[in-house]
Chains A and B, each alone.
Chain A
Amino acid sequence: MNHSCDDMKIKLAARDIISLAAATGCPKRLLAVGSTGPESIPLRDYAAALGKRIGCQVIVVMLESPMPAPEPASPVFSFAGLVAPIGAATGWQRGFFELRIPRQYVKEAVEELSRSMKRIEFILTDSDNIKEILSETAIQPVFRIEAVNPEPGGSPMSTDSKANTMKDIITTAVLGVITVALYTAVFWKADLVMRLFTRGGAYAALPIGTVFVFSFAHGAFASRLWSLLGIQARPKTEAYKNVTASPQPQKTKRTRAYAHVNPFHNLDLRGK
Chain B
Amino acid sequence: MQDLQQAISFIDLSAGTVIFLFVVGFIGGLVSGFIGSGGAFVLTPGMMSLGVPGTVAVASNMCHKFPKAMVGAYKRFKYGQVDIKLGLFLAASAVVGVQAGIKIQNWILDLWGQAGSNLYVSVSFVLVLVVVGGYVFIDACRSRKACGVESIATLARKLQSVQLPPMIYFKRADVRISLWFTIPVGFATGMLAATIAVGGFIGVPGMIYVLGVSGFVASATELVIAFVMGLGGSINWAMHGMVDIRLTLIILAGSLLGVQLGAIGTTYVKEHMIKNVMGIIMLMVAVSRALAIPEYLDQLAVISINATSLGWLNKLSFTIMCLALLVGAAIILTAMFKARREEAALSRQPVPATVTTPT
Q: Which residues of A contact B (CB under 8 A)?
A: 36-38, 41, 44, 62, 74-75, 77-78, 80-82, 85-86, 89, 91, 97-102, 151-154, 183, 186-187, 190, 193-194, 197-201, 203-208, 210-212, 214-215, 218-219, 222-223, 225-226, 231-234, 236
Contacts and interface: CB of A to CB of B under 8 A. Distances in A.
Nearest to B74: A219
Q: 6 closest pairs, A vs B, by CB?
A: A204-B238, A215-B67, A200-B241, A198-B241, A233-B267, A219-B71
B10 A218 contact: no
Contacts of B264: 226, 231-233
Nearest to B246: A190
Interface of B: 1-2, 5, 10, 63-64, 66-68, 70-71, 74-75, 78-80, 231, 234-235, 238-246, 248-249, 252-253, 256-257, 260-261, 263-264, 267-268, 339, 343-344, 347-348, 350-351, 353-359
A154 B354 CA distance: 23
B238 A99 contact: no
A232 B264 CA distance: 6
Contact of B351 (A44, A77, A210, A233): A44
Contacts, number: 152
A212 B69 CA distance: 11
Contacts of A211: 63-64, 66-67, 234, 245, 248-249, 252
Given A234-B268, A234-B343, A222 B252 contact: no
Interface of B is mostly: helix
Contact of A82 (B1, B240, B343, B357): B357
Contacts of B234: 207-208, 211
19 contacts: A62-B351, A85-B355, A151-B347, A194-B245, A197-B243, A199-B241, A200-B240, A204-B239, A208-B231, A211-B67, A211-B249, A218-B256, A219-B256, A222-B71, A222-B256, A231-B264, A232-B264, A233-B267, A234-B267
B256 A215 contact: yes
Nearest to A105: B357
